[in-house]
Amino acid sequence: MAEDMELELEFTEDLQLTDVMRHRAQSLQQKGQKRQDGERLLLPYEAVYRLDFNEQELSFSHWNVSIKGPGRLSVTGISQLWTPDLTNLMTRQLLEPSGQFWRSAGDPEDAPIKCLEADIQEFGERIADLAKVRKVMYFLLAFKDGAEKDSIKCSLVFKKDVEA
């Protein structure tokens, strides 16, 4: 019965949105133009991911993150409801704190992933709050220090809020 009360949502890459953001950065570079004041361009090691909320009444439980080999994963939430064809990503739309997860060189594969626990707890709770009013939420995932997109799995587990 308890399993029915949990919902695990995996981050899925939004390839189209990632491409749009990469083209924006390339276009500015090719034309020798500068980004808009406050605009946040996608870096080469970042990609746009999304969470789709089929249920809105959720409470944050925990993160499920696995990293094969050494590396760092940074997850940053985006506050805007995305319309990339009309708006550029602005720095003020990035949520704080971000989720930071890493595995150092020499860490055994079965060792827990390192993280900033207070930040990931607060971030998870903020995501659950936003899920109450959103069907989808977007994130920037950055793969650093040797982390590869294919070697990382990242999801959030929520408890379903049940009316008494």
Q: Each residue of 108-138: pLDDT tens digit?
A: 888 899 999 999 999 999 999 999 999 999 9
Across 40-59, average pLDDT: 93
> C-alpha angle with apex 28: 26 to 31, nearest 5 degrees?
105
What's residue 164's pLDDT?
44
Instruction: Provide the pLDDT for residue 32.
Output: 93
Question: 6 falls in which pLDDT band (50, 70, 90)?
Answer: very high
Mean pLDDT along residues 135-162: 93
19-23, 40-44, 84-88: least confident range: 84-88
Q: Give the architecture (CATH level 2) of 2-160.
A: Sandwich (2.60)
Q: Mean pLDDT, to the nearest integer, of 70-98?
A: 87
Q: What is the reported pLDDT for 85?
A: 66
Grade residue 84 by pLDDT with cuts at 50, 70 and 90.
low
pLDDT in tens, 51-67: 999 988 999 999 999 99
SS3 string, the chain, reads CHHHHEEEEECEECHHHHHHHHHHHHHHHHHCCCCCCCECCCCCCEEEEEEECCCCCEEEEEEEEEECCCEEEEEEEECCCCCCCCCCCEHHHECCCCEEEEECCCCCCCCCCEECHHHHHHHHHHHHHHHCCCCEEEEEEEEECCCCHHHEEEEEEEEECCCC
Q: What is the pLDDT of residue 4?
A: 66
pTM: 0.91
